[in-house]
Amino acid sequence: MKAAINIANTLRGLVTFGFIRNIKSMSSSSSSSQNFVSRSVIKKVFAKLQKEGDGAVVRRGISRSEQKLLDPFLMLDEFSVSPPAGFPDHPHRGFETVTEELLIKISKATRVQSNIYAGDVQWMTAGRGIIHSEMPEEEVNKGLQLWINLSSSEKMIEPNYQELSSADIPKAEQNGVQVKVIAGESMGIQSPVYTRTPTMFLDFTLGPGAQFHQNVPESWNVFAYVLESGEGGAVFGSSNSSPVSAHNVVVFGQGNDGVSVWNKSSSKILRFVLIAGEPIGEPVVQYGPFVMNTQAEIDMTIEDYHYSKNGFEMAKYWKSQ
């Protein structure tokens, strides 16, 4: 979907990598279980299929009912879209969207199955306003889209895009555990992404029988989303807790060192994303693609969009190709 994301009043190209303020002295993960105290699983949410956009179907893992528990996260969708379905021109204000492409299949006609764009990530800060369309150009596009709230002081900042191709994303491997560090730090390596709301976004693949302990700052909220697992494979929190199947959000409780995970399958890999963030602790008022602190700010946003002002200037004549 990369090439299909069109930008209205934005700063595409003005990507500022290399400065990271959010994770100061987080110790990296340890591969030994000694002394590591994992948070425990307090809730599981199966991401049910639902219709969204224009003919698209998504699995929604995080929605309004999880927003309090998972502050600063607003939404998590696992999408699978094929043309002509997609998400035509729509606005956003007040938060960030992170889109991780998991799988892209190009046209059958070529008889080549390629996933050249798989692994790319777009970290979009909507700020005061963007209008974009997210339409697939290839046969099948699978991925994740996460919405991260912005604090009141950052809701009206200029929009920004950080685009990472798969090759730009730091990767590490130890003891049968692979990680792609999309945001934050793991196994001693750091992502170049600048997160306004301090966020960790790690994409893990555990080989059969592998285990891992990931440090997470104590005050942060954290969840996992299981993308792929063998029967009975995905075990979180403690080694004897009940396994979680694919398409489930696993919400962890507060405190302790971080999160432990085991792949108990003897033949299949376990793939999941681990996402953590510093809670903002402000009221959330959401109206579709606008997320503000008060109803008055939402009313103002609807007016701004309607009259193409205060960040929505391009709404008047913008049309994505």
The residue (of 262 and 305) whose beta carbon lies closer to ligand FJE is: 305
Give Cβ neighbours of residue 276 (< 8 Å, ≥ 6 apart): 184, 199, 200, 216, 217, 220, 221, 222, 223
The residue (of 74 and 250) whose beta carbon lies closer to ligand FJE is: 74
Q: What DSSP state is assigned to residue 244?
A: B
Alpha carbon of residue 9 to chain centroid: 23
For ligand FJE, the binding residues (CB under 6 A) are 52-53, 58, 77, 79, 87, 90, 99, 134, 145, 288-289
Q: How far is the CB of 144 from ligand FJE (least distance, A)?
A: 8
Q: How far is the CB of 17 from ligand FJE (least distance, A)?
A: 23
The residue (of 101 and 257) whose beta carbon lies closer to ligand FJE is: 101
Q: How far is the CB of 147 from ligand FJE (least distance, A)?
A: 8
Residue 134 among known ligand-binding residues = yes
Q: How far is the CB of 54 from ligand FJE (least distance, A)?
A: 8
The secondary structure of 247-273 as a DSSP string is: TEEEEE-S-SSEEEEEE--SSS-EEEE
Q: Is 54 helix (H, G, I), strand (E, B) or coil?
A: strand
The residue (of 98 and 234) whose beta carbon lies closer to ligand FJE is: 98
The residue (of 145 and 197) whose beta carbon lies closer to ligand FJE is: 145
* Contact in structure between 208 and 263 (CB atoms under 8 Å): yes
| Alpha helices (runs of H) in the chain, residue ranges in sequence order | 295-306
Count the Cβ atoms, other than its own, within 10 Å of residue 109: 7
Q: Burial, 32: exposed, middle or buried (Cβ in 10 Å; 0-12, 13-18, 19+)? A: exposed
Cα–Cα–Cα angle for 312, 314, 319, rounded to 5 degrees: 125
Residue 90 among known ligand-binding residues = yes
Q: Which residues are annotated as a binding site for Fe cation?
A: 90, 92, 132, 134
